[in-house]
Chain A
C-alpha cells in the first residue's frame, strides 16, 4: 500500500545535537494527523522539513509518490498556518487570501471573489475589507486558515495554530478546523502541546519525544495501549507500576510492592522473567474501605484530594509507589486526607508496557 505523505528515516542534526532521529511516518490522503509531544521534541522541525524551510540531514519526504526533497518551499504547494498567523499586515483579509491565487496568475477580480468565498467558508463573510489589526485573534486565525486552503494545497500544516487563543475560542476553533478539513478532504498535519486537543481532533496521533516518534496510532489506541511508558505518562493520567513477568502463559506478573498481578488487558507477547511496567488508568481504580471480591486490591495512604466538583482526584501512595485514583464526586466523602483505604482493579484494566 502506498500512502500519500511518506517520511522515511528523516534525521536532522544541528551541530552535535540530534533534533530528529530516524523519523518515519506514512499519512493517508485526507487523514488528519496530530503531532503531540513536549517542548523541543522535534514537532516543528519535522513540519519545517516537510514545508522545505529546513533541510533534513538524511531521509526523504514524498508526497503522492514523488520525492519533494529537492523542491524549494514555494514549489511545494503546501498550506501552512503559523502560530502567530503571519498575516500580511499591509493587505486586507481578502487580499491575504487572494495572495496565493495572485502568485498563481489568477486575475484580481476572480481571485478576490474566490477569496471571499473561502472567507465565508471559515465564517468570515463580509470581513474581507478589514486589515489584520482590525480583526480579533480568532478571526485572524480563520483568515490564516482560509489563506492556507484557498489554493487547494496538497498538504495542510498547522503549527500550534490555537496556542494564542483562550479556552472557549480554542474549543470552537477545534470544531471549525475539523469541519473545514473534512469538507475539503485535505491531508492535514496539526501540531499541538495539548493532549485533549489531539484526542478530540485527530484520526491518528504521533507522539514525539527527544526527536523520535514514540508511537503513532489512533487516539483511543494511544490512550488504551500506549507502547512506551513515556506515551502512557504523557497522554492522560497514569499509574505506572514496575513489575516482572512471572508466568507469561497465565498472564501473571509480580510487583515487589503490590504483589502478584493478572494483566488480562494486554496482548503483548512476553517472556517469563521479563521486566515490564504495568499501567492502570486512574479512572479504572476503585476506592473503598475494605477489599472488594474478584478485584485485585492494595492498601493506599491518601495524601491529597483534589476536588473538581463532579469528580475528584485522590493522590496517595501504595507502598512507595505514587498512585492516582479518579473517583466520582459523591464517592469521595468516604475518605479523608491522611487515612488509609483500599484501592482495587480488575485484570482487564491492567496494561503491560515493555519499554
Chain B
C-alpha cells in the first residue's frame, strides 16, 4: 500500500511537472515550430521575443490592463468588503451573492455577455473595455481573499486605538491598514494575476488594439506554433517562481538574523 502511495505521488508530480520539463527546453530550441525533443539549442527565440513588436505590444497591453484592473478592483473591493463584513443592512445577502456571481458563471458566458454589452457602449476592442470586464472577474477573487482577512481582524485593536486617542481616520491609517496590509497585497496580486492570465474574455473583446499576451499566444499557437510561446511560458514560470520564493527567502533571512536580546530585568 505504501509503495503504491509513493508511486502514485511520484506519478502525479511527474504529470504536473511534465509541461514545465517540456516547455523550458523547448524555449531554447532551434526548431522553427514547437517541437519536442528539440533538435538543437540556441537563444534566438529569446532575442525574437524581446525585439518583435508583435510580441512586445501585447505584453505591454497585458501589463497596462492588469495594473489598471488591479487598481480599479481594489478601489471597489476595499470599501465593499468593509461594508459587507462589518455591517448588517437590508439586502446584504443579495449583495454578497452579486459579489461572488462572476466566479460561478462560466467565463464563456460572461465573455458573450460582455461582447454584446460593451459593444453597445462602443468599448469593444478598447483597453477600457477589457479593463472593465477583467475588473468584474477580479472583484470576487479579491473580495474572497480580503474578506477572509477582515473577518479574522480583532476589532478590539481598533477600539484600543480609539481609546488611546486616535480618531477613526487615524485608527484606520495607523492600525487597520498596516495590519491588513498582507491581505491587501495578496488580494491585489490575485486580481492582477487573474487579469494577466485571462484568455476567454480577452479573445472576445480585446481585438487588435488591446490585444493581450494570452490572446496573442493563443492566436500564435493556432497559426504557426511560434516557439516564442515557449519563451514566454518559461519567463512567466520563472517570474511566478521568484514571486513565490521571495517572501519565503525574506522571512527565513529575517528569522536567521540575530535579534538583539537584552537581559530580562524585573519580569518573567
Using CB atoms and an 8 Å cutoff, list the residues of chain A in contact with chain B: 51-53, 72-74, 76-80, 82, 84, 86-90, 99-100, 103-104, 120, 123-127, 129, 136, 138-139, 142, 147-148, 151, 169
Quick one: given A86-B157, A88-B175, are A125 and B166 in contact (CB under 8 Å)?
no
Task: For the complex, give the distance between the alpha carbons of A86 and B161 in Å.
Answer: 9
List the A side residues contacting B175 at CB < 8 Å.
88
Task: For the complex, give the distance between the alpha carbons of A90 and B180 in Å.
Answer: 10
| Nearest CB on B from A173, distance (A) | 11
Task: For the complex, give the distance between the alpha carbons of A82 and B157 in Å.
Answer: 9
Interface centre among B156, B159, B163, B171 (most CB of A within 10 A): B163
Please determine whether B165 and A80 come into contact, CB atoms closer than 8 angstroms. no
Partner of B268, one of A89, A90, A136: A136
List the A side residues contacting B268 at CB < 8 Å.
136, 138-139, 169
List the A side residues contacting B154 at CB < 8 Å.
84, 86
Please determine whether A80 and B159 come into contact, CB atoms closer than 8 angstroms. yes
Closest to A51 in B: B163
Residue interface mask B235-268, A partner, CB < 8 A = 1: 0000000000000000000000000101111111
B178 within 8 A of partner (CB): yes
List the A side residues contacting B260 at CB < 8 Å.
129
Interface centre among B160, B171, B175, B262 (most CB of A within 10 A): B160
Please determine whether A123 and B164 come into contact, CB atoms closer than 8 angstroms. no
Report 27 cross-chain contacts, Cβ distance below 8 Å, ordered by A residue.
Answer: A53-B162, A72-B162, A74-B164, A77-B165, A78-B163, A79-B163, A80-B160, A84-B154, A84-B156, A86-B154, A86-B159, A87-B160, A88-B161, A88-B179, A100-B165, A103-B165, A103-B166, A123-B266, A123-B267, A124-B266, A126-B264, A126-B265, A129-B260, A138-B267, A138-B268, A148-B164, A151-B165
Please determine whether B159 and A53 come into contact, CB atoms closer than 8 angstroms. yes
Please determine whether A74 and B163 come into contact, CB atoms closer than 8 angstroms. yes
| Nearest CB on A from B157, distance (A) | 5
List the B side residues contacting A151 at CB < 8 Å.
164-165
B47 within 8 A of partner (CB): no
Using CB atoms and an 8 Å cutoff, list the residues of chain B in contact with chain A: 154, 156-157, 159-168, 170-171, 174-175, 178-179, 260, 262-268
Closest to B174 in A: A99
List the A side residues contacting B262 at CB < 8 Å.
126, 129
| Nearest CB on A from B266, distance (A) | 4
| Nearest CB on A from B197, distance (A) | 32
List the B side residues contacting A87 at CB < 8 Å.
160
| Nearest CB on A from B55, distance (A) | 42
Please determine whether B267 and A73 come into contact, CB atoms closer than 8 angstroms. no
Please determine whether B178 and A103 come into contact, CB atoms closer than 8 angstroms. no
List the A side residues contacting B263 at CB < 8 Å.
126
| Nearest CB on A from B228, distance (A) | 44
In order of increasing CB-CB distance, the 6 nearest A-B pairs are A100-B164, A86-B160, A86-B156, A103-B165, A123-B266, A73-B162
Task: For the complex, give the distance between the alpha carbons of A147 and B163 in Å.
Answer: 11
Task: For the complex, give the distance between the alpha carbons of A124 and B266 in Å.
Answer: 6
Partner of B178, one of A76, A90, A124, A127: A90
List the B side residues contacting A104 at CB < 8 Å.
165
Partner of A73, one of B157, B159, B178, B266: B159
| Given contact pairs A53-B159, A53-B162, A136-B268, a sample of 12 additional A-B residue pairs in the complex whose CB atoms are under 8 Å apart | A51-B163, A74-B163, A78-B163, A82-B156, A90-B179, A100-B164, A103-B166, A123-B267, A127-B264, A138-B267, A148-B164, A151-B164
Task: For the complex, give the distance between the alpha carbons of A86 and B166 in Å.
Answer: 15
List the A side residues contacting B161 at CB < 8 Å.
88, 99
